[in-house]
Amino acid sequence: MQPLLEMKDITKIYPNGVAANEGACFSLAEGEIHAVAGENGAGKSTLMKMLSGAEKPTSGEIFFRGERVNFRSAKDAQALGIGMVWQHFMLVNEFPVYRNIFLGCEDCGKLGFLREKKMRAAAEELAGKYDMAVDIRAKCGDLPVGQAQKVEILKVLARGAKVLILDEPTAVLTPQETEELFRQLLLLKEDGCSIVIITHKLREIKRLCDRVTVMRAGRTLGTYEVSEVTEEDISRLMVGSSVKTEPDKLPFSPGEEVAAVSDLHIAGRGGKEAVSGVSFAVHRGEILGLAGVEGNGQKEAAEVLCGLVRKYRGRVTVEGQELAGRSVRRIRALGVAHIPEDRLRTGCDPDGSIFDNLIALCCDSESRLGFLREKRLKVRVKEVIGRYSVKGTPGQKMRSLSGGNMQKVIVARELEASPVLLVADQPTRGVDIGSIAFIHQKLTELRDRGGAVLLVSADMSEMFALSDRILVFHGGEIVAEITDVQGTSEEQLGRYMLGIDRMEVTHG
C-alpha cells in the first residue's frame, strides 16, 4: 500500500558543516501512530522539522500521496494538512485560549473586526469533538502544562491538519494527563489522522504506537512493527548496546541533616504565594525528590537553597548556616551545587568552550598570584571529559554539542566540586537514553558517598528510579510525603500531584 508520506535519502548539512541527517528515510502510513526514536543528536527532530516545512533538506525527496513535494516553509506543509506541535509551546500568554487557537487565521468580518463569538463557538466545537476539556476563555498564561498542550494541538487541528507531529509530548505530563493525551490521540487516529511522535520513552512507544523508526547518528537504522520488538530491542538499536534503566545504588541509610527549610513562604504571581508554609529537610546519603505538576512551588523551594530565590519568609539552612542575605557565591562556598533546568540559558556559556565551562568554578583553587595554572587545568579537564564520557574536545564550543553531552559537562562541573548538597533541576530533560542512564548513575554515586541530592523532576520514571523519599507539591504546599517509593504506583503519585488526594504532612 502506498504510504501517505515518504522521505527518501534526506540529507541536511548546516552552513557550519554539521550534518544533522545523512541519507535518512521515513514513511508514514495513513491512520497510524508512528514513533521516531533515537539518542540526542540522532537527527530525529531535524528530520521531522523538514517534514513540517520548518527546515529545508540539503538533498533528498519528500512525497505526499505519491507526488513529490517541495516545502518552502511551514505554510506549504500546512496547506497539505501537516502540522507540528513543538516541545516548547508557542502560545501568547496574554491571549485567551480561543484567540491562540485561531492565531494567524482569525475570523474577521467585512470591516476587519474579529468575530469573537463565532471563534469561541468554533473553538468549543473543536475541543468537544476530540474530548479536550479546556476553558476556551481562560488566558493561556494561567493554564497548567497539560491544558496548554491541548491548546497547541487544537491550534494545529484548526488549520485542517490530518498529519500531526508531536515532539516529546509527555515530557512534563503526569500519568493521568499522559493517559488523557493517549485517549485523545487515539480519537484523532479513529478520525483519520496520522500521528508522528518524537520520543525516547520506550514504554509509551509500546503502549501507543503502531510502528517505530529508530535513528542513530543522522541515519535511519530501520522501521519496525512495535508488536514485534521489545523495549530492550529498541533501546539497543538506539544506542548500539544494552542500557541499564535502574542505577546501581547502596541500601538507603540516611545520615545527619544537611539542609533544612522551615515555614517557607515565597510570593508568586497575582498576589498568590508560590510556596506557602513549607518545611522539609534533606540528609546525607539521601536523594529527596520534589514532585509536582510544573508551577506548584517545588522549583522555587529548591532554588531557595541555591540562592536563586532571595526574597522569602522562613528559615533556610545548609550545614547549620543560615542562607538569608548570602550571595550565590557564598552559598556555593558552603558546598551547594546546582544543575539548572535550562542548560543553555543558565547552565553554561554556550559560546564558551568545554574547557572554559568546566573550569568556571575552580579558578580560585587553580590559580597562583592571580594567574591560572593552565597546564594543570588542561590535564584535569581531559581527565574529566574522559571520566564523564563527553563526546567532544576541550576547545569545542558548548553550542555544538548534543543535549546529552552538554548536560554531561554541566553535571561534571557541579559534581567535581564535591558538594555536600546538589540541587538537580530536571537533570535529564531533553537528554537521550544513554546519557540519562549515565547521569542517573553519577547522582546515585554522590548519594552513596554521603552527599545529599535534592531532585526536581517532571519525569515520573526518573523520580521513582532515583528518589529515596518524595515530597509532593500542589498549590505551593506539600500534600504528601512518600517514604515507600517502590511501593507507590505512578498513578497514586499522579493523584497527589493533581491535588485529587492528599495526606497529613507535619514536616518533610
pTM of the model: 0.74
Residue with cell 491550534: 155
Looking at the domain assignment, is residue 342 inside a domain?
A: no
Q: What is the pLDDT along the chain (508 residues), one digit of tens a residue?
A: 789 999 999 999 988 888 999 999 999 999 999 999 988 778 898 999 999 999 999 999 999 999 999 999 999 999 999 999 987 788 888 999 988 998 877 666 666 667 788 888 999 999 999 888 899 899 988 888 888 889 999 999 988 899 999 998 887 777 788 888 999 999 999 999 999 999 888 889 999 999 999 999 899 999 999 999 999 899 889 887 766 768 889 999 999 999 999 999 999 877 789 999 999 999 999 999 999 988 899 999 999 999 999 999 999 999 999 999 999 999 999 999 999 988 888 889 989 999 999 987 665 555 454 445 677 788 888 999 999 988 889 999 998 887 788 999 999 999 998 999 999 999 998 787 888 889 999 999 999 999 999 999 988 889 999 999 999 999 999 999 999 999 999 889 989 998 999 998 766 6
Non-local (6+) Cβ contacts of 471 within 8 A are 280, 288, 289, 290, 291, 298, 478, 480, 481, 482, 505, 508
8-state DSSP, 316:
E
153 and 171 assigned to the same domain: no
Which range marks the domain in which residue 442 is found?
Answer: 244-335+419-508
Taking the C-alpha atoms of residue 261 and residue 315, their distance in angstroms, rounded to an integer, is 6
- Domain end residue (candidates: 241, 272, 293): 241
Taking the C-alpha atoms of residue 495 and residue 498, their distance in angstroms, rounded to an integer, is 5
Grouping H, G, I as helix, E, B as strand and the rest as coil, residue 170 is: coil
- Type of residue at 87: Q
Looking at the domain assignment, is residue 340 inside a domain?
A: no
Short-list 136, 18, 163, 178, CA closest to 81: 163
62 and 121 assigned to the same domain: no
114 HSE (CA, 13 A, CB side): 11
Contact yes or no for 479/502 (Cβ under 8 A): yes
Number of domains comprising the chain: 4
What pLDDT score was predicted for residue 471? 97
- Type of residue at 223: T
316 and 455 assigned to the same domain: yes
- Domain end residue (candidates: 131, 158, 185): 158
229 and 208 assigned to the same domain: yes
- DSSP E strands: which ranges in 330-451? 336-339, 367-368, 371-372, 421-425
- Domain end residue (candidates: 221, 241, 261): 241
Taking the C-alpha atoms of residue 273 and residue 503, their distance in angstroms, rounded to an integer, is 21
> Cα angle vertex 54, ends 119, 428, to 5°?
95
What pLDDT score was predicted for residue 369? 42
Looking at the domain assignment, is residue 341 inside a domain?
A: no
Looking at the domain assignment, is residue 267 inside a domain?
A: yes
Taking the C-alpha atoms of residue 375 and residue 379, their distance in angstroms, rounded to an integer, is 7
340 phi-psi bin (left φ>0, alpha ψ -120 to 50, beta other): beta
Looking at the domain assignment, is residue 296 inside a domain?
A: yes
Taking the C-alpha atoms of residue 166 and residue 156, their distance in angstroms, rounded to an integer, is 11
423 and 499 assigned to the same domain: yes
Taking the C-alpha atoms of residue 365 and residue 335, their distance in angstroms, rounded to an integer, is 14
CATH of the domain at 44: 3.40.50.300
Looking at the domain assignment, is residue 479 inside a domain?
A: yes
413 and 424 assigned to the same domain: no
